[in-house]
C-alpha cells in the first residue's frame, strides 16, 4: 500500500494543488498581469490529449476570448523550464478563444530557469500566499 502511494504521489500532489493555485490567482483579479481575466479555470479535451491547468477568461459562461493560459509545475527540485514553456505555448493554440495575444502564465514551486522565463507572468509560492492576505 505504501509503495502505491509513493508511486502516485507526484500526480496526486499536482491535482491537489491546482484548485488552490486557481483560487489564489482568482483572488488577484483584476490585475494587469492577467489581461482582462475575471475568472480562472482549466481546459481539457474529451479525449484527454490536451490539458491546460490555467485558463483565464473575462466571462464565466461561453467566453469569447481567453486572456491567458498557464501551467502549474509543483515539482520538488526542478524549476519551470524551456520544455514547460514550449508545451504551454503549443497548447495555447488548442484552447478555443486564444490567439497570439493570449498571455502565457507559469506557476512553479521551484522557480524558473533561464529558458522558462519567456512567460508573460511567472508566479512562485510567495505570490500565491500574498493573494490570501488581501
pLDDT tops 90 at residue 106: yes
Domains along the chain with CATH numbers: 2-131 (3.40.1350.10)
Q: What is the pLDDT of residue 29?
A: 97
Distance of CA 11 to the CA centre of its chain: 15
DSSP 1-30: -HHHHHHHHHHHHHHHHHHHHHHHHHHH-S
Distance of CA 66 to the CA centre of its chain: 13
Per-residue confidence band for 15, with pLDDT thresholds at 50, 70 and 90: confident
Q: What percentage of the chain reaches a pLDDT higher than 70?
A: 93
pLDDT tens string 20-78: 999 999 999 999 999 999 999 999 998 888 999 999 999 988 888 999 999 999 998 99
Q: Can you name the residues that pair with 39 across neighbouring β-strands? A: 57
| Grid coordinates belonging to 91 | 497548447
Q: Tell me the C-alpha distance between 92 and 90, whole Å.
A: 5
Q: Tell me the C-alpha distance between 22 and 107, whole Å.
A: 10
| Grid coordinates belonging to 132 | 490570501
For the segment 104-111, the average pLDDT, to the nearest whole number, is 96
Amino acid at each position: 500500500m505504501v509503495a502505491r502511494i509513493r508511486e502516485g504521489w507526484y500526480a496526486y500532489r499536482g491535482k491537489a494543488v491546482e484548485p488552490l493555485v486557481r483560487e489564489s490567482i482568482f483572488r488577484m483579479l483584476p490585475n494587469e498581469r492577467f489581461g482582462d481575466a475575471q475568472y480562472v479555470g482549466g481546459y481539457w479535451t474529451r479525449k484527454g490529449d490536451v490539458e491546460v491547468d490555467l485558463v483565464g477568461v473575462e466571462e464565466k459562461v461561453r467566453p469569447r476570448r481567453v486572456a491567458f493560459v498557464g501551467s502549474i509545475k509543483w515539482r520538488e527540485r526542478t524549476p519551470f523550464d524551456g520544455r514547460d514553456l514550449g508545451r504551454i505555448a503549443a497548447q495555447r493554440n488548442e484552447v478555443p478563444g486564444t490567439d497570439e495575444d493570449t498571455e502565457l502564465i507559469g506557476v512553479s514551486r521551484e522557480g524558473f530557469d533561464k529558458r522558462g522565463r519567456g512567460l508573460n507572468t511567472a508566479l512562485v509560492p510567495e505570490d500565491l500566499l500574498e493573494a490570501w492576505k488581501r
